[in-house]
Amino acid sequence: MQSLYDIPAPAKLNLFLHITGRRDDGYHLLQSAFMLIDWCDTLHFEIRSDGLITREDLSWPLPADDLCVRAAKALQTETGCTSGAHIGILKSVPAQAGMGGGSSDAASTLLALNRLWNLRLPLEKLMAIGLKIGADVPFFLSCRHGWVEGIGEKITPLQLPSAQFVVVKPDAGLDTKLIFSDPELKRDSETAIISGFAANTLTFGRNDLQAVAQKLCPGVNQALAWLATLGLSGRMTGSGSAVFAHLLHAVDLQNAPDAMQVRVCNSLDVHPLLGWANSDGN
């Protein structure tokens, strides 16, 4: 029985997030800079000869049809692969945090099973499969920091300076659908350009979802207020509820509220699975 263990699935931070419009099908158009950080889930894989996809939760319970299972089944359907897999998921990245945990798990699943099943699909094909699973999956498959546009499918690799952050996740999460359906959501931000972002990488823009999130989730306000007591300027990542602040000096994190997860995170240079799928499928 061939096995592959300890496959990382790193989280991301949205350094900014602007909503620039909305398509006729309801999908929102966005611009954002995604930065990979070292807060990771860990996935364990074992090949099954019976074609079944099974999953074991190694931390907290996940939905029966989570994104890893959907990714594995989509890869089978696309290729006609008759092999199966048993997937163990050790979650660390919190859910409903805006950090892309589920999407990152799905991306690492596609990369790992493409290799384990010897499918040799090129990265472009994996990204097309990933986009059907979730808007953020192609970013994680790209394995680099990215300037992200459209509904998440337009990705330009970015070189970003190394940085350290305090990331705070309130006890409550946020439902992305509730935020994007809120009538008060700002949907008309001006289109930004990469050069303007590059001049102020860690302070550029804002998160257009934050105002709505603060209305829906008091924990976001509490996390931002606590960061302010440390002299840190916080911002929500993604659709929340996690917030983060660029860490430039030592701070005392011992007095963090009990209901919040607090972690000091470093940016990654690249995704740990960079090169697991090449553009030519080799």
Catalytic residue ranges: 12, 136
Eight-class DSSP state of 85? E
DSSP 144-207: S-EEEEETTTEEEE------EEEEEE-SS---HHHHHT-TT----PPPP-HHHHHTTTTT-S-B
Q: Give the angle 198-147-230 at the CA atoms, nearest 5°.
A: 65
Strands in the chain per DSSP E: 3-22, 28-48, 53-57, 84-90, 146-150, 154-157, 164-169, 235-236, 243-246, 261-266
Coil vs helix vs strand at 112:
helix
